[in-house]
Structure 1
Amino acid sequence: MPTDTRTPSPTTKESFGERIDPARPFSSDQLPRLRKTNVPFTGMRHCVLDPVLLLVDANRVLTTICAKADYRSIETRTTLEEAVDAGMIRAFAPRFLLKEVDDEHLGRFVKPSRSLNRLQEARKLLLPRIELVDPPDLSSRNIEALRAVDPKDVPYAQAFEYRKLDMILSLDKHWKVTDCPIWRAKDHDIVKTLSGDRNSCPPYDTKTAPLPSACWTAPS
């Protein structure tokens, strides 16, 4: 067979012994490496993007725990976990989250095919990827609007404002009383949005710019 003597693309770099070409789809696990080496994407002016600073509410954490518990292997990552591992997202929540995902709350999601032990395993693997925040007792128009409809949402709004985060991942209708930027994405939509699949992006309620995107593949 003839030897391929083509010169590698200038956007191709060696990283940890692996050749990565940002012009083609690649595993999301390569994104942190590309960020360190400052590799630009073909046809784009920017390099690998900084992560979205995302507040994750309790309902989304609980549904992610359930999804993870239902996988054949507990080690299989949800798309939220993969996005965090890839450095596309930094996930935050108030420490109050721990009370909302305790064994009593997990017990409500037990069914014949999903034991409490399985849910506990999933929780143990997921929670280290979420950065817990201890916000001060802040007050603002948005915080007080939430306090009036559901006081349990207040620590989340306080964490969002205290850490000056970008967006809130939630399907909770109570956030509609605020003008906070809400990303109403289901688990599989996280990959669609961050991979730049604009035709199937989930809706989000915000006056800010759209979420950034990058070229990475979904988990197998």
Structure 2
Amino acid sequence: MGELSQNKISQLNASSAKVRFQLISEQKSHSEIHRELEVKYSAKITLLKSNIKTLKREATLTQKASSTVKIKILSLETKVRELEGKLDDLELEQVLYDLNAMEGMIEEPAQINSFDPKEIDSLKLELERASEDLNSKKYIIECMEKSIEVSDNIYKRELDIRSSERLKLVEKNSFLRDQLALKKEPRDASHNEVDTHSYL
């Protein structure tokens, strides 16, 4: 009877040792997987952080350039209005001069301020150039605003990816902990059984 008990205890001890060995092996395996995951996701997170920092810097520079261009646009708009006003005045003077000449009211043209049509042409050319410059700056600001919008969208997408990667890592760690906890239960049960038979 005592010999049977000793054999049973030996078997239980051997079984417990086997379970313990398996648990240690699985713990090492889980630890290796955990380290691999940490390295993998840490590299991804580091890359995402770098990309986000770059996008922020580009967005800041674009916004500064955008502000400069907007100031230039305001200046050009003011210049265009001034040129349009001068052109209107000159064209009005020309119309009045032509009307007076047609009605014979001008007896001595030399007494009236000479009117140079080239001045109108010059103003028209200057106005045309200013308008082209203004349209060009408006196009630039439009492109910059679109670029900022695209950068913001990329930045948000990178943040979403980063959050998703972190969540995956947390879920994987939780899964590994649960697996380790389940593996510990048979070992604890085996120990309890060995202890019970030892008292017998």
TM-score band w.r.t. shorter chain: under 0.3
The structure where helix makes up a greater share of residues is 2
TM-score w.r.t. length of structure 1? 0.20
- Comparing both chains, which one has the higher relative contact order based on Cα–Cα distances under 8 Å and sequence gaps of 6 or more? 2
Q: Flag the structure with larger Rg.
A: 2
The structure where strand makes up a greater share of residues is 1
